[in-house]
Amino acid sequence: MIEIIELSKHYGPPGKRITAVDKLSFTIESGIIFGLLGPNGAGKTTTIKMLTAVSRPDSGTCLIDGFDIFKKPLELKERIGVVPQENNLDRELTAYENLKIYAMLHRVENAEAKIGQIFSQMGLSDRQDLIVTKYSGGMQRRLLLARALLREPAVLFLDEPSIGLDPQIRRQMWDIIRETKTSGRTVIITTHYIEEAEALCDRIAILSKGRLIALDTPAGLKARIGGYAVEFMDVNGKISRFIAASKDEAHDRARSCNCSVTIRPSNLEDVFIELTGERIE
């Protein structure tokens, strides 16, 4: 179990201080895929950097299975794997060399067997001897994930795992991420893709301007606002939206308008808009 307790992080000098994360507190159960959802600037990456002890909070702490990660950072590093948003692979080496060097640096036991197994899992076995510059963006994201999994971490952090990928490759990445949630492993992802959060996550924390706005299952979040969205389009193409608690209410509202109307199930974007008044771009 992961316990985040009053985590805060600020940047800038006194008088011009910017709050990136503001007193975050929540719990992440073991063995789930947990999502941090929000637009750019919501504090997602800053939170991940603190949870992986790359950055220290100004206040608050985080416990993983009872130990304080900021008091025992070396113990933390033994338990986690991280896929950063930035591509930090050595692009002049082959894919195999990237994993081999990582395994040597971290003293991974049975490294050759694990490297072979993980290349197979990622669908890269026949391309492991290519230099990284020959890899597509999707293949490089898979290689980053492969590297993070080499030490068989108890907790896996993925910062915007499918950013920059086209929709088809993104869905392939989602399938691989689902497979990583094995043997009780906890997976924590940040994303600004509504569809990604809804497709992958067992529980989702919605962040806005560094603050926790809501936390629940995808179904629970949608239940907070109502089950159906009614969208009205006027003669100028402007769209307005109404959230209805039931399909009957949605149809009643639709019949009241002499304009183009669409009725659909509510989604996490509707939740975000209702709770924050903003859109996720």
| pLDDT value for 86 | 87
Helix, strand counts (H, E) of the chain: 10, 13
Which of these ranges, 51-65, 161-175, 250-264, has the smallest mean pLDDT? 250-264
Q: Record the pTM.
A: 0.88
- Dist. CA 55–CA 114, nearest whole Å: 30
Which H or E run includes 229? Answer: strand 228-233
Q: pLDDT of 107-155, one tens digit each?
A: 999 999 999 999 998 999 999 999 999 999 889 999 999 999 999 999 9
Judge whether residue 63 has pLDDT over 90: yes
Tell which wins on pLDDT, 227 or 54.
54
pLDDT higher than threshold 70 for residue 48: yes
Residue 281 pLDDT class (50, 70, 90 cuts): low
Which percentage of the chain shows pLDDT scores above 90?
56
pLDDT in tens, 158-175: 999 888 888 888 888 898
Q: What confidence score (pLDDT) does residue 260 get? A: 74
Instruction: Give the pLDDT confidence score for residue 264 in this predicted structure.
Output: 76
Classify burial at 15, counting beta carbons within 10 Å of its beta carbon; exposed 0-12, middle 13-18, buried 19 or more: exposed
Q: What integer pLDDT is reported at residue 227 of this predicted model?
A: 77
Q: How confident is the model at residue 13, as a pLDDT?
A: 85
Phi and psi (nearest 5°) for 63? -115, 130
Average pLDDT value for residue range 58-65: 94
Task: Please give the average per-residue pLDDT across 8-25, as a whole number.
Answer: 92
Contacts of 217 (CB under 8 A, 6+ apart): 202, 203, 204
- Tell me, what's the pLDDT at 41? 87
Q: What is the pLDDT of residues 176-203, one digit of tens each?
A: 889 888 778 999 999 988 899 999 999 9
pLDDT, tens digit, 9 for 90 and up, residues 208-253: 999 999 999 999 999 888 877 777 776 566 666 667 666 666 666 6
For residue 151, the number of C-alpha atoms closer than 13 Å in the C-beta half-sphere is 22
What torsion, rounded to 10 degrees, do the Cα atoms 83, 85, 90, 96 define?
40
Task: Give percent of the chain with pLDDT exceeding 70.
Answer: 91
The Cα–Cα gap between 84 and 218 comes to 25
Query: What pLDDT sits at residue 239?
Result: 61
The token pair at 262 is: 């669409």
pLDDT of residue 267: 85
